[in-house]
Amino acid sequence: MACPPDTPSFLLTVPGSNFNSTSVILVNGREVPTTFLGPDRLSTFVNAQELASGGSCQVRNSAPARELSELKAITSATFKAGQPAPTVSPNQVVAGAAAFKLSMWGLPVDANSVIVWNGLAMPTTIDASWGSASTTIPASEVAKPGYAVVALYNRGGWITPAQIVNITVNQQAAGIMESPDGGQLLAIVPDTSPTHAGQLIRIDPETGTVSPLAALGQPTSMVAASDKGSLYLGSRWSRRVRRLSWPGLVETAAFDVPSGGVETLLAVPGLPGSILVGQSTLFGPQDVVIYDGGSGRAKHGAVYGSRDCLALDESGGRLYALDNGLSSFELTAYAVDTDGLTQLGRSQTLTVGFGTGLAAWGGHIYTSNGLVVDADTYATLPKRIPAASDSQILLDPPNNRIYFVGSSGQYGTAYLMVYELASLNQVGALVLHGVRNLPLRIARWGRNGLAVVQDAAYGNDPGMYIFRTDLVRPF
């Protein structure tokens, strides 16, 4: 495109095709901060000074583009000084919804104000007496799960901080994971759900389509075997562990734990026929046992806590257990061998909270409240990740990422927070509106997909947050 001289500042949206996270807009040959809104849309803010003598715009795939999120919004140079963030309603929409009215208020508005939805300037109705602006969002804009970035642009040259509208899938689930063959999502649905009760379901993350696969009763935990050739399922309400073939979902093995129910299931790396089971008891700790084809190894471990309190390292040779159900908050390490679990040294008290989760990789232990602990010495690293104590944690070493998801302390709001695994530096965050139920479960899918679900085993609120984001980027 070409611009005549003396063009005022404006928000530039570039339509096209085959854009990706490396696409960058050039104004008069100079790279400018670029927002990747999708494979067919980029945007940037163009200052009037750039176009004092006219100019042109091009796009090339050469430098990382910036994706908008709640905490990485349009470059601060485009903010009007002191401009407050607007209130947006609704801030959550179900994928596949009909066209709806979007309102923004709490700002100074005038005839030059325009609502911008994912980089598109929308026909906007202004009510200056109420400080509000509104527009109609067509159904085509919310046909698929994801999120939209919304801001109020003023042709006088400023734009508000970006706000997020989540586009969710209306389905309850007690757990979620990427399918063993990749690219799809699997979820287990409690038997109290109004849809697909007691089913294992498949979700197409691109469209949000939900397909029932098998009736399973009421499992509360699920994990793929290390070779991705089968699924293990268990329930805290039952002693039975089931192994199903994938993708046929034929039961190939089943066994009962001695007592209580199945609180935790972890796949043992390199041993597809083996599974680590945390068995819940009425008043005591989880009895932690490794089963090989249904036969338990002789040496057991114990931990007072929830299903998130156990973590195997990437080799399967170490197990870490955190007593997150007692105020002692002791971390214990076990060696894993053919006899089972052998405690290594003394336990170490950590500064964590009830329900804190664990993950382990590369000689370090990571807690969901942001601690990084040396796996051999138990020494806590000086740099701490500022995550919430009720977060869930997911490590993604191939993409150099750590994901936390948890409450912000404000009812109905949670955040996904993304950090580099190597540097522990934050690379972005995304607000999740409408969260009324903790804990949350998180899963990766595809090249750059994330999914978060409110665990319906603890309540009845639906809501799956499924999206692609360049906050996940292979390095």
pLDDT in tens, 261-290: 898 999 999 999 999 999 987 667 889 999
More confident residue, 402 or 10: 402
Assess if residue 432 is contained within a domain: no
66 has pLDDT over 70 = no
The string of pLDDT tens digits covering residues 362-389 is 999 999 888 999 998 888 998 888 776 6
- Structure confidence at residue 53 (pLDDT): 57
- End position of a domain, from candidates 34, 66, 98: 66
Q: 465 pLDDT exceeds 70?
A: yes
Structure tokens at 397: 């070493």
Please report whether residue 96 resides in a domain: no
Q: What is the mean pLDDT of residues 76-99?
A: 72
Distance CA 360, CA 320 (A): 8
Does some domain include residue 46? yes
Report the percentage of the chain scoring pLDDT > 90. 40
* pLDDT tens column, 298-312: 999 988 877 788 999
Judged against a pLDDT cut of 50, whether residue 68 lies above it is answered with no
> Measured between alpha carbons, how far is 228 from 446 in angstroms, rounded to an integer?
15
pLDDT band for 42, please (50, 70, 90 cuts).
confident
According to the model, what pLDDT value does residue 218 have?
A: 78
Is 3 inside a domain boundary? yes
The pLDDT of residue 71 is 24
Tell me which of 66, 82, 108 is where a domain ends: 66
Q: Characterize 218-256 residue by residue with b for buried, 16 or more Cβ atoms within 10 angstroms of its Cβ, and e for exposed.
A: bbbbbbbbbeeebbbbbbbbbbbbbbbebeeeeeebebe
377 Cβ contact list (under 8 Å, min separation 6) = none
* Residue 248's CATH number: 2.40.10
> What is the model's pLDDT at position 63?
37
pLDDT above 70 as % of the chain: 80
Selected residue with higher pLDDT from 462 and 314: 314
Whether pLDDT at 201 is above 50: yes
222: left (phi over 0), alpha (psi -120 to 50) or beta: beta
Query: Quick one: pLDDT at residue 385?
Result: 84
Over 70: is that where the pLDDT of 461 sits?
no
d(CA 84, CA 161): 7
Q: How far is CA 341 from CA 44, 181, 320, in A?
A: 56, 31, 11
| Alpha carbons 247 and 262: distance in angstroms, whole number | 23
DSSP strand pairing (163-168 vs 92-94):
parallel
Three-state DSSP at 297 gives coil
Distance in angstroms (rounded) separating the CA atoms of residues 161 and 69: 10
Q: Would you say residue 135 lies in a domain?
A: no
- Compute the distance between CA of residue 374 and CA of residue 380 in angstroms, rounded to an integer: 6
Cα separation, 308 vs 253, whole angstroms:
25
State the chain's mean pLDDT as an integer: 82
**Nearest alpha-carbon partner for 145 in 117, 165, 116, 115:** 165
For residue 88, what are its two tokens? Answer: 């947006």
Residue 250, phi then psi, degrees to nearest 5: -95, 130
At residue 22, the pLDDT reads 72
Residue 85 or residue 469, greater confidence = 469
Number of domains in the chain: 2
> What value does the mean pLDDT take over residues 415-424?
89
| Band (75; pLDDT cuts 50, 70, 90) | very low
Determine the pLDDT at residue 3.
46
| Residue 115 identity (one-letter amino acid) | I
Of 251, 257, 268, which is closest to residue 296 (Cα–Cα)? 257
pLDDT band at 138 (very low <50, low <70, confident <90, very high): very high
**Sign of the CA dihedral with 379 first, then 385, 390, and 395 last:** negative
Domain end call among 237, 261, 296: 296
Q: Residue 230: which of 243, 239, 220 has the closest Cα?
A: 243
**191 domain-assigned:** no
Q: Which of 45-49, 143-147, 411-415 shows the highest mean pLDDT? A: 143-147
CA-CA distance, 68 to 54, in Å (whole number)? Answer: 28
The band of 70, judged by pLDDT with boundaries at 50, 70 and 90, is very low
Assign 448 to helix, strand or coil.
coil
Residue that has been written with the tokens 């999740």 in this structure: 432
Is the per-residue pLDDT at 457 higher than 70? no
**444 lies in a domain?**
no
The rounded distance, in Å, linking the Cα atoms of 352 and 227 is 34
Helical H runs in 274-314? Answer: none
In a domain, 132, yes or no: no
Q: Name, of 104-113, 150-159, 239-248, 400-409, the range with top average pLDDT.
A: 239-248
Does the N-terminal peptide bond of residue 90 adopt cis geometry, omega within 30 degrees of 0?
Answer: yes
Higher pLDDT: 181 or 61? It is: 181
Give the C-alpha separation, 298 to 212, whole Å.
38
Encode pLDDT of 339-370 as tens digits. 999 999 877 888 777 778 899 999 999 998 88
Between 82 and 94, the higher pLDDT residue:
94
Query: What per-residue confidence (pLDDT) applies to 79?
Result: 35
Angle at 339 between CA 334 and CA 341, to 5 degrees: 15
- 327 contacts: CB under 8 Å, gap ≥ 6: none
Here the tokens at position 142 are 């919310």
Q: Which residues pair with 203 in a beta bridge?
A: 185, 210
The answer to whether the peptide bond before residue 33 is cis (omega within 30 degrees of 0) is: no
Rounded CA separation 89/236 (Å): 39
Q: Which domain holds residue 41?
A: 1-66
The number of residues making up the chain comes to 475
